[in-house]
Structure 1
Amino acid sequence: MAAEQQAPSILGFPHRPEWGATAHRRAVAGHLRRCRNHAGLGTGRAAECIGASPATISRMETGLASLKTADVSHLLDEYSVRDPAERQRIALLVHEAAQPEVWQPYAHGAPDSLRPLLAMEPAARRIISYEPQLVPGWLQTEEYARIVIRATHPTLPAGEIEERVRLRCARIDMLRRETDPPTLLAVMDSEVFRRQVGTPGVMYRQIQYLLTLLDELRYRIRLHIAPLSVGAAGAIGHPIVHLRFFSPDYLPDMVYLEQYEGALYREKPSDSERYQAVLNHLCGVATPADQTASLLQEALATWR
């Protein structure tokens, strides 16, 4: 019973600017909800405290609304959060939550449906991805990405296509950072290397790039290739991305399901576990990662 009555703490969530604004905002949002519940207050009373509506409190507590320093301070007073260390950490996180999102330098090239994934992936400890049709976006060369984006969105202005290309190719940089980079575990269908995107030269350089990345980021990328023999296990018709974060007590797993016209996101534990099981099975039936370089060398030879 004593453990249940213990006041919630935010000290387990560090101040990490490289994780991005959204991760910090969502961590504070969940903490504010826990503090309010611990204080035994409803959203109506919390709303009165800052002169807002209960709907605003709900949005703040789900990470959908921006966090104002003064509002958060008043709420902490109302929730009897007095510990200086707690309040200092919250102030740091609120400051970080107000910074530009990681996709904002590429705002014109960041589709609305992709922004939640772009915003959260820098905070991931591990990313598992399945791609049945193409090289995963993080691992594409500029010319490969340009052809894919133009084929998928033929009516986009050239400038917007170029911005999308720059954004897509910049995402690999989070795997290069020195402090706690995410680990990417990617599964690709073997047919990806038989499906010609652009010219044979484009395919050759794309496969060369994959080999370079496997060497450069050997402890940060694990790439599996699923042959046709995996059968029904590989018959998933759309990409799946599963994110697990460095601070799972504050940030629940996220699943991204790409659709032709948009995307779906799943964060319920039951959904996360289900898709993780699907991805784990694909990793298990695909070719082991330590054989991927040899398979890529074989594929490279077909495009000379």
Structure 2
Amino acid sequence: MSNAGYHNDDAAKPTSSKKPSLKRREIAAGLLHALQRSKRTRANIAGKLGWTEPDTSRMVNGHLDVSGRDVAKFLVAVEASAEEIDRLTALADLSPRAYTIQPHPTHLPDVLPTLTYLGVNARTIISYEPHRLPHLTHTIGYAETLLRATGLLTGHTVRDGIRARIDRQAILTDPTGPDTTFYIGETALAQSLPSQVAAEQQLHFHTFTQHPRRHLRLVPGTVAGAAMPGFTLFQDQHSREVVTVHTPTAMLVLEDPDHLAPYQQAISELAATALPQADSTARLLTPGAFGGQTACRS
């Protein structure tokens, strides 16, 4: 494929696949967005760079492994921003391990482009959080209370993180947005909150649960699966599934079927043991629900 103009520093031959990995799909989405914004055609860009049009098409469809250098060439050709070039070039050069374990500021996976990509392209999102409310359900006040309580983040990082978290929630108001189910561990209600923050979060839940594609279910602390770490399963329109597992300072990205299986099993167990949605909503909206004043009974 040397006639296509692709370059790989370790001289490995670019490969194509009928089932592009998540990393390929994320890169391809960025390239396609930049191409469409430029109003240029794939044939035009291929000719400009001395590449073949089929290989250029595979590149923007996620069916070709490419280096950061070739990604940069493509983005310069479509006059992408410096920020886009830096982000997508760095993404292309990540090793599989580095892509699987993505570090982030304490409790702020929201700043990771991969998490945003997964949410925007999801048809279904199922999330479980044992000790706090799921990020996509946070009010600004709740998020700020939790982040400042760590004592590990600067004010600037907190502000940027909250903005990223709220921006991610836009998928919930999109008419074509995903169907979402959030399993919340009972211990999340033990979080002590300022009264105004608790009231605002409960008001938000009241509005949140009016939407037919949003589901909240409480998980009693006695459920065995409640000891699992927080995780989210994303399923796209092609039924491809990815799980992100949450730690305080890194997000684990899983797409191998063997790695997904324990989380798929956990979701089945949570669905069978969590309180029904009506009961869960009633508990969440009960005055004094936060601060451990109410408890779930399975």
Please give the TM-score of this superposition, normalised by the length of structure 1: 0.65
Amino acid at match of 2:179: T
- The SS at the match of 1:127 is strand
Question: What amino acid is aligned across from residue 117 of structure 2 in structure 1?
Answer: A
Residue 222 (structure 1) aligned to one of 215, 218, 228:
215
Q: Is the 8 A contact 2:183 2:216 kept in 1?
A: yes
Mapped pair 1:288 → 2:276: yes
- 2:198 is aligned to 203
1:188 and 2:179 are equivalent in the alignment? no
- Match runs of 1:77-116 below 5 Å: 77=54, 114-116=112-114
Give the CA deviation at 1:148.
1.1
| Percent of paired sites with the same residue | 22
Of residues 255, 259, 264 in structure 2, which corresponds to 1:267? 255
1:4 maps to none
CA RMSD in angstroms, aligned pairs only: 3.7
Per the TM alignment, residue 275 of structure 1 is displaced from its structure 2 partner at its CA by 1.0
Q: CA deviation at 1:147?
A: 1.4
C-alpha distance after superposition, 1:266-286 (max 9, x if no partner): 001222233112122112100
Residues 1:111 and 1:132: Cα distance change in structure 2 (over 3 Å): closer
Secondary structure of 1:188's counterpart equals strand
**How many aligned positions are there?**
234
Return the alpha-carbon distance in structure 2 between the equivalents of residues 47 and 300 of structure 1. 67
The residue number in structure 2 matching 1:151 is 149
C-alpha deviations, 1:176-231, integer Å up to 9, x for none? 112x211110000122122213x13322321221122112x2x111111011232x
Kept after mapping to 2: 8 A contact 1:224/1:286? yes
Secondary structure class of the residue paired with 2:218: strand
- The question of 1:167 aligning with 2:164 is answered yes
Q: Which amino acid aligns with 1:207?
A: Q
Residue 193 of structure 1 contacts residue 299 of structure 1 at CA under 8 Å; is this kept in 2? no
Tell me which amino acid in the other structure corresponds to 2:186.
S
Q: 1:242 aligns with which of 221, 227, 233?
A: 233
Candidates 251, 256, 264, aligned match of 1:276: 264
Q: Residues 267, 75 of structure 1: CA spacing in aligned structure 2 closer, same or farther, 3 A cutoff?
A: farther
Secondary structure at the aligned position of 1:196 is classed as coil
Match of residue 64 from structure 2: none
Amino acid at match of 2:123: R
Distance 1:201 1:214 in 2: 20
Tell me how far 1:50 sits from its aligned partner.
1.8
1:233 aligns with 2:225: yes
Equivalent-residue separation in structure 1 for 2:52 and 2:152 (angstroms):
48
* Distance change >3 Å, CA 137–CA 188, structure 1 → 2: same
Counterpart-to-counterpart distance in 2, 1:300 and 1:284: 27
SS at match of 1:186: strand
Quote the Cα distance in structure 2 between the aligned partners of 1:112 and 1:212. Answer: 23
Farther-moved stretch of structure 1 (49-58 vs 156-165): 49-58
Work out whether residues 240 and 257 of structure 1, in 8 Å CA contact, stay in contact via their aligned partners in 2: yes
| CA displacement at 1:119 relative to structure 2 | 1.8
CA distance in structure 1 between the partners assigned to 2:154 and 2:260 by the alignment: 36
- CA change 1:112–1:166 in 2 (3 A) is closer
Q: CA 1:118–1:285 in 2, change beyond 3 Å: closer, same or farther?
A: same
Q: Deviations over 1:86-125 (max 9, x none)?
A: 99x96xxx999x7988xx9xxx997598331122211100
CA–CA distance in structure 2, aligned partners of residues 220 and 73 of structure 1: 47
Query: What SS is found at the alignment partner of 2:222?
Result: helix
Show structure 2 runs of 5+ residues with no match: 36-41, 62-73, 88-103, 294-298
Partner of 1:133: 131
Whether the aligned pair in 1 keeps the contact of 2:192 and 2:290 (CA below 8 Å) is: no
